[in-house]
């Protein structure tokens, strides 16, 4: 069979760093081709080249046997290549139909006939089993629905090669299943799918072929036969990998660290997204918070770390009332926070590491004059202790890969020996090895007697780490359960407001 | 005082007063919908006013004068787009610098061309072009349908721009570029080219608005003849929620208050005339204040878009 897409000898350099080093990739029609690799292995760069966002320094791309020079996304689209980006490329204020129509290659003077477009889209969505609300603004749609709009966009313009960049990172398990159904229908219609994911179990489930990248090179290109997770991880990091798990005990101690009562809060639009939540966290306990995006978990995490004022209710840390306290007071009272946005909330991207080390620190500890020699020493100790791979404490933060930055942030927060550690999606978008390092650190913190609140969209992680799980739905505690009592699927149902039978 | 003819004259004056603002705001809306904040509108209007005056003075043709004024406005946006969009400099600062430059440049060129004469050189203003039949409608006939061609053109352009922005492929693309340039680029739209085109359109209309002042209203050129109308058009853009038809209403409101204050000055009221002059500006400020923050502002407004970001 003739390949649909061939990338040959692709080289891309950013400054002195070679991010893609003579990469080959061949995709056949009707196959799901998984692209794997740790953070910084060069997957995103390769896909951005294929999509015309970056230009390669060397190499060539053939589509259906014909060489094409992809100089812009437009050329790429015309060649039948489309990408479902991780951060959806949708105009929030437009409806689904308008977003799809934006892709249409029509003369600029033509009218946007909404009825006609809606008809065509309904036909497409029936063919591929993609249900989409066509008339509401995209910002009002669920994440899963927005993703389907992205897929529909590409099908509308007749793309044959669809790139999915970590499509399941933001989805609930049921939504994932629905997505996989759609992908199966796509390949059944002789479309090709390039599937990028960190979740190996999904990759094994959905893909026909697997290409593994490491440090910008292809290290493996194999059919999905007789493979298991351990083998893939070995290919990715070039060594056998064992998860050296910290012994997990369920010895929660008695002292309550954080106690919130009847707390309400509004999100940045002013809409109340957290409704009368009451919870307690004890020493040595990991409390998992499950919820689909936009059901109040972001606001909850912000409220318990002092980044957001609650509009009603009481918050107390170790018996001390912090209801209207400033963010700095929360830090002083021993609250550590690993927010989900590590690039903008947790750190200042343009600062070097030792400057970021100073953030979220008590004034009393640093003083008014900064003793940089000591600060740099502390930073370097943490870099070593937490295995942060970087050129040094003077490296600019935005140059760190996601996993290394997250390890640094966790190290910074733990260095303050907090009483409460709040983690929001600590391993989102982070490769296997770094993820396990972070999870083990969180378990260690619990063993050391910290109270931990963990909000995560990764169910396996929630079930593995938590002692107790609260499910948030529409800003309220919908259910409380433990990892022993529940499964991934039950958790998914509860997050969508369905009580398990 | 409140006779029918007073009222018709007031409304007629309202349309004339608001015309440069309708032009300016309509153009500005297109630029801002594409995500570029064109602070240089004041400068484009001033340049348009000057060029239109000079060309009509030398050629004797109002049409050629207006065309050249509009063209000058359009061309003058190129350095602004070059700096503010392609080179990603701060669009507001670039715009303000441009405005200051235009004040100096037009004053200098005016003296260079005409010297300092005792009687300022003047041109014939654009004749009224009553629309048959429609001009017989009571009140409205006299107020709206007996105006000059530029007044009609401004209203037509405002409505036409609304149509293009909300109903056509071009409008959809312009709005997408101003809301989410990355998504627009992913859809195969050239962000830079769209912004370049939108800025040119804004300059073209700014130039037309300026031309109106010299060619159709005053018949002469004076230093700083625009007297802040470009900035008022910026305010009306916000007041009109980036919708040309609503902005048309906003411009008319300003025109009405302006027309009223001119008449009020002439009446012997024991209030210093400066307060009357302030009135239209105060009304626009107040209406923006009362409207509050609104969500129709293009999300990527003023946002320097970088293509190969990493």
What domain range is A66 assigned to?
5-237
**What pLDDT shows up at residue A252?**
63
Q: Say how many C-beta atoms besides its own lie within 10 A of residue B64's C-beta.
A: 14
- Whether A501 maps to a domain, the answer reads no
Whether A154 and A283 map to the same domain: the answer is no
Rounded to the nearest 10 degrees, the angle between the axes of helix B4-33 and helix B244-266 is 140
Number of Cβ atoms within 10 Å of the Cβ of A76? 26
Separation of alpha carbons B69 and B72, rounded Å: 5
- Indicate which of B183, B303, B307 best probes the interface with A, i.e. most A CBs within 10 Å of its own CB: B183
In a domain, A401, yes or no: yes
**Domain identity same for A232 and A261:** no
Total Cβ atoms within 10 A of residue B225: 20
Provide, as residue numbers in chain B, all residues whose Cβ is less than 8 Å from the Cβ of A112.
Answer: 167-169, 171-172
Does residue B43 sit within a domain?
Answer: yes
The domain in which residue B227 lies consists of 10-117+143-291
Q: Give the separation between CA A308 and CA A326, rounded to whole angstroms.
A: 9
Are B177 and B34 in contact by the 8 Å Cβ rule? The answer is yes
Classify the complex by whether its ipTM is higher than 0.90, answering yes or no.
no
Specify the pLDDT at position A424: 93
Domain assignment present for residue A245? The answer is no
Q: What are A1-41's pLDDT values in tens digits?
A: 789 999 999 999 887 778 899 999 999 999 999 998 877 78
Domains contained in chain A, number: 2
Q: Do A110 and B176 touch (CB under 8 A)?
A: no
Residue A301: the pLDDT is 94
Calpha distance B197→B78 (Å, rounded): 10
Q: Cβ(A243)–Cβ(A221) under 8 Å?
A: no
Measured between alpha carbons, how far is B51 from A340 in angstroms, rounded to an integer?
Answer: 56
With beta carbons under 8 A apart, name residues in chain B contacting A54: 308
Q: Is A72 on the interface with B (CB under 8 A)?
A: yes
In our burial notation (b when 16+ CB lie closer than 10 A, e otherwise), range A405-414 reads bbbbbbbbbb
Angle (CA) A387-A389-A390 rounded to 5° is 130
More reliable by pLDDT, B10 or A40:
B10
- Please tell me whether residues A419 and A478 are part of one structural domain: yes
Please identify among residues 159-198 of chain B the ones whose CB lies closer than 8 Å to any CB of chain A. Answer: 167-173, 175-176, 179-180, 182-190
Of B171, B186, B310, which has the smallest distance from its Cβ to A89's Cβ? B186
Q: Are residues A426 and A336 in the same domain?
A: yes
Answer positive or negative: Cα dihedral of A379, A380, A386, A390.
positive
CATH code for the domain of A354: 3.40.50.300
Domain membership flag for residue A250: no
For the segment B121-154, what is each residue's pLDDT rounded down to a tens digit? 999 999 999 888 888 888 888 888 889 999 999 9
Question: From A111, which residue of chain B is nearest by alpha-carbon distance?
Answer: B168
Q: Is residue A214 part of a domain?
A: yes
Residue B297 lies in a domain: no
Q: Is A241 helix (H, G, I), strand (E, B) or coil?
A: coil
Chain mean position to CA B277 = 20
Distance CA A406, CA A426 (A): 7
CB contact under 8 A, B168 and A53: no
Specify the pLDDT at position B310: 41
Assign A471 to helix, strand or coil: strand
* Spatial separation of the C-alpha atoms in residues A375 and A355, rounded to whole Å: 8
Question: Following DSSP, what letter does each residue of B154-208 receive, concatenated?
Answer: HHHHHHHHHHHHHHBHHHHHHHHHHH-HHHHHHTT--HHHHHHHHHHHHHHHHHH
A299 and A232 belong to one structural domain = no
Strand order across the A209-214 sheet: A81-84, A161-165, A192-196, A32-36, A209-214, A217-223
Whether the CB-CB separation of A124 and A131 falls below 8 Å is answered with no
Distance from the B192 Cα atom to the nearest Cα atom in chain A, whole angstroms: 13
Assigned domain for B287 exists: yes
* Contact status, residue A381 vs residue A342, Cβ threshold 8 Å: no
What does the alpha-carbon distance between residue B102 and residue B114 come to, in Å, rounded to a whole number?
A: 18
How far apart, in whole angstroms, are the C-alpha atoms of residue B238 and residue B303? 17
Total domains present in chain B = 1
What distance in Å separates the CA atoms of residue A399 and residue A18, rounded to the nearest whole number? 14
A217 belongs to a structural domain = yes
> Which A-chain residues 130-189 have CB contacts (< 8 A) with chain B?
153
Q: Which of B176, B308, B310 comes nearest A102 by C-beta?
A: B176
Angle at A45 between CA A62 and CA A400, to 5 degrees: 170
B169 to chain A: closest CA residue: A108
Mean pLDDT to the nearest integer, B169-185:
93
Q: What is the DSSP letter of A136?
A: S
User: Which residues of chain A make contact with B172, given a CB cutoff of 8 A?
Assistant: 94, 98, 101-102, 112
Between vectors from CA A324 to CA A318 and to CA A327, what angle results, nearest 5°? Answer: 75
A73 and A189 part of one domain: yes
Report pLDDT digits (tens) over B17-46. 999 999 999 999 999 999 999 999 999 999
Query: Could you tell me if A210 and A283 lie in one domain?
Result: no
Are the beta carbons of A488 and A460 closer than 8 angstroms?
Answer: yes
The predicted-structure confidence for B250-280, as pLDDT tens digits, reads as follows 999 999 999 999 888 888 788 888 888 899 8
Reference B222, options B110, B71, B113, B129; nearest CA is: B110
Smallest Cα distance from A489 to chain B, Å: 33
Cβ A3 vs Cβ A49: under 8 Å: no
- Asked whether A400 and A408 are in contact (CB, 8 A), the reply is yes
Contacts of A53 in chain B (CB under 8 A): 185, 307-308
Nearest to B186 among A85, A104, A112 (CB): A85
Residues 6+ apart with CB under 8 A from B177: B34, B35, B184, B189, B191, B194, B195, B198, B300
Please indicate whether, in this complex, the C-beta atoms of B187 and A102 are within 8 angstroms of each other.
yes
Q: Is A362 on the interface with B (CB under 8 A)?
A: no
Q: Are residues A226 and A261 in the same domain?
A: no
Closest by CA position to A341, among listed A285, A423, A273, A283: A423
Closest CA to A279 of A288, A270, A271: A288
How many CB atoms lie under 10 A from the CB of residue A12? 22
B177, part of any domain: yes
Q: Which one, of B225, B243, B231, lies nearest residue B294 by Cα?
A: B243
Nearest by CB: A91 against B167, B176, B188: B176
Judgement on whether residues A431 and A293 belong to the same structural domain of the protein: yes
Hey, are the CB atoms on B183 and A90 less than 8 Å from each other?
Answer: yes
- pLDDT truncated to tens, each residue of chain A (501 aa)? 789 999 999 999 887 778 899 999 999 999 999 998 877 788 888 998 998 888 999 999 999 999 999 998 889 988 999 989 877 889 989 999 899 988 887 888 888 877 788 888 888 888 888 888 888 889 888 888 899 999 999 999 889 999 998 888 778 778 888 899 999 999 999 999 999 987 888 889 999 999 998 888 898 888 888 888 778 877 777 665 555 555 666 666 788 999 999 999 988 777 888 999 999 999 999 999 998 877 888 899 999 999 999 999 999 998 889 988 888 889 989 999 999 888 888 899 889 999 999 888 876 666 778 888 888 999 999 999 998 888 888 888 888 888 889 999 999 999 988 999 999 999 988 888 888 899 999 999 998 889 999 999 888 889 999 999 999 988 899 999 998 888 888 888 888 888 776
| CATH number for the domain harbouring residue B96 | 1.10.3470
Rounded to 5 degrees, what are φ and ψ at B109? Answer: -65, -35
Residue A246 lies in a domain: no
Helix axis angle, B4-33 to B169-179, nearest 10° = 70
């Amino acid at each position: 069979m003739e390949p649909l897409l061939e990338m040959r000898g692709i080289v891309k350099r950013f400054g002195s760093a070679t991010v893609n080093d003579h990469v080959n990739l061949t995709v056949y029609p009707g196959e799901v081709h998984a692209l794997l690799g740790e953070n910084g292995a060069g997957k995103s760069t390769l896909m951005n080249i294929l999509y015309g966002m970056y230009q390669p320094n060397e190499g060539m791309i053939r589509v259906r046997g014909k060489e094409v020079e992809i100089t812009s996304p437009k050329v790429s689209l015309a060649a039948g290549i489309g990408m479902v980006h991780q951060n959806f490329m949708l105009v929030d204020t437009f409806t689904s139909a308008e977003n799809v129509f934006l892709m249409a290659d029509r003369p600029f003077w033509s009218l946007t006939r909404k009825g006609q477009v809606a008809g065509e889209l309904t036909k497409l969505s029936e063919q591929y089993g993609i249900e989409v609300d066509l008339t509401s603004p995209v910002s009002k749609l669920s994440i899963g629905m927005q993703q389907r709009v992205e897929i529909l966009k590409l099908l509308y313009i007749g793309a044959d090669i669809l790139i999915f960049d970590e499509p399941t990172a933001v989805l609930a398990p049921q939504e994932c299943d629905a997505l996989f159904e759609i992908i199966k229908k796509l390949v059944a219609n002789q479309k090709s799918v390039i599937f990028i994911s960190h979740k190996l179990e999904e990759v094994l489930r959905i893909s026909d072929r697997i290409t593994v990248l490491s440090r910008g090179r292809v290290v493996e290109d194999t059919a999905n036969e007789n493979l298991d997770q351990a083998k893939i991880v070995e290919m990715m990091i070039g060594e056998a990998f064992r998860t050296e798990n910290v012994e997990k005990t369920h010895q929660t101690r008695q002292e309550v660290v954080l106690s919130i009562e009847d707390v309400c809060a509004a999100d940045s639009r002013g809409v109340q997204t957290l409704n009368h939540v009451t919870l307690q966290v004890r020493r040595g306990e990991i409390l998992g918070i499950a919820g689909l995006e936009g059901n109040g978990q972001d606001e909850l995490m912000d409220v318990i770390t002092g980044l957001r004022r609650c509009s009603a209710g009481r918050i107390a840390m170790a018996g001390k009332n912090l209801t209207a306290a400033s963010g700095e007071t929360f830090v002083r009272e021993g609250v550590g926070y690993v927010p989900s946005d590590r690039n903008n909330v947790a750190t200042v991207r343009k600062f070097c590491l030792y400057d970021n080390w100073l953030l979220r620190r008590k004034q009393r500890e640093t003083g008014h004059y900064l003793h940089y020699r000591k600060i740099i020493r502390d930073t370097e100790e943490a870099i070593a202790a937490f295995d942060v791979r970087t050129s040094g404490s003077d490296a600019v933060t935005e140059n760190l890969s996601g996993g290394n930055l997250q390890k640094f942030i966790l190290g910074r927060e733990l260095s303050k020996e907090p009483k409460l550690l709040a983690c929001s999606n600590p391993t989102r978008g982070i490769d296997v090895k770094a993820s396990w390092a972070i999870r083990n650190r969180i378990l260690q913190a619990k063993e050391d007697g910290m109270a931990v609140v963990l909000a995560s969209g990764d169910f396996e992680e929630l079930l593995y780490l938590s002692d107790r799980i609260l499910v948030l739905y529409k800003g309220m505690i919908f259910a409380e359960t433990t990892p022993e009592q529940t499964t991934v699927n039950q958790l998914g149902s509860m997050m969508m407001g369905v009580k398990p039978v | 005082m409140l006779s029918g003819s007073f009222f018709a004259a007031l409304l007629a004056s309202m349309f004339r007063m608001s015309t440069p603002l309708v032009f300016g705001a309509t153009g500005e809306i297109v630029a801002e919908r594409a995500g570029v904040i064109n602070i240089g509108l004041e400068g484009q209007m001033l340049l348009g006013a000057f060029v239109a005056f000079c060309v009509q003075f030398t050629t004797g043709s109002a049409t050629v004068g207006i065309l050249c004024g509009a063209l000058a406005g359009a061309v003058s946006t190129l350095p602004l787009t070059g700096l503010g969009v392609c080179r990603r400099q701060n669009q507001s600062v670039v715009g303000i610098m441009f405005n200051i430059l235009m004040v100096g440049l037009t004053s200098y060129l005016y003296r260079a061309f005409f010297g300092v004469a005792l009687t300022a050189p003047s041109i014939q203003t654009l004749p009224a072009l009553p629309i048959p039949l429609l001009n017989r409608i009571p009140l409205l006939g006299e107020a709206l349908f007996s105006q000059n061609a530029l007044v009609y053109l401004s209203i037509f352009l405002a409505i036409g721009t609304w149509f293009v922005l909300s109903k056509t492929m071009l409008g959809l693309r312009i709005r997408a570029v101003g809301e989410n340039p990355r998504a627009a680029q992913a859809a195969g739209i050239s962000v830079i080219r769209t912004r370049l085109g939108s800025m040119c359109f804004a300059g073209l209309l700014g130039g037309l608005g300026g031309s109106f002042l010299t060619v159709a209203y005053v018949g002469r050129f004076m230093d700083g003849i625009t007297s802040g109308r470009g900035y008022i058009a910026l305010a009306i853009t916000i007041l009109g929620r980036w919708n040309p038809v609503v902005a048309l209403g906003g411009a008319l409101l300003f025109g009405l208050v302006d027309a009223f204050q001119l008449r009020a000055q002439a009446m012997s009221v024991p209030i210093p005339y400066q307060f009357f002059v302030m009135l239209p500006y105060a009304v626009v400020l107040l209406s923006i204040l009362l409207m509050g923050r609104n969500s129709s502002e293009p999300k990527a407004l003023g946002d320097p878009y970088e293509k190969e970001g990493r």
